[in-house]
């Protein structure tokens, strides 16, 4: 019987063969899902799918891309957002003329 803490499905069951030929079950924490874009939900590249304690051991440059909103928003959504903000600022800076 496994220990009570291992009786939940948050632990992944892995079958291993011991040197004596016996089949035993080891319990591992599940791998986290891939990072996704906050806007469109697309999978983000350059962001490793690791558990927090493993991520903290990586260098900061290995944790996410080095650009604005790297690791949060995909490049396509970032480009679209930047274009929209530039257009908005241009529109806002125009003087209002009445006909």
> What is the tens place of the pLDDT at every residue in 25-81?
999 999 999 999 999 999 999 999 999 999 999 999 999 999 999 999 999 999 999
Is residue 69 located within the same domain as residue 21? no
| C-alpha closest to that of 76 among 43, 35, 34 | 43
The answer on 3 and 26 residing in a single domain is yes
Asked whether residue 44 falls in the same domain as residue 82, the answer is yes
Confidence of residue 92 (pLDDT cuts 50, 70, 90): confident
Domain count, the chain: 2
What is each CA distance from 27 to 14, 16, 71, 92, in whole angstroms?
A: 6, 10, 30, 58
**pLDDT at res. 19:** 97
Q: Are residues 45 and 86 in the same domain?
A: yes
- 43 with 26, same domain? no
Looking at the whole model, is its pTM more than 0.85? no
Both 20 and 38 in one domain: the answer is no
Which domain range does residue 15 map to? 1-30
């Amino acid at each position: 019987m496994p220990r009570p803490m291992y009786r939940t499905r948050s632990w992944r069951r892995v079958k291993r063969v011991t040197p004596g030929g016996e089949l035993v079950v080891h319990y591992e924490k599940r791998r986290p899902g891939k990072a996704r874009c906050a806007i469109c939900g697309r999978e983000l590249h350059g962001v490793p799918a690791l558990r927090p304690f493993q991520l903290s051991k990586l260098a900061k440059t290995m944790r996410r891309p080095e650009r604005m909103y790297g690791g949060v928003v995909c490049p396509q959504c970032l480009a679209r957002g930047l274009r929209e903000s530039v257009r908005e600022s241009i529109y806002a800076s125009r003087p209002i003329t009445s006909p």
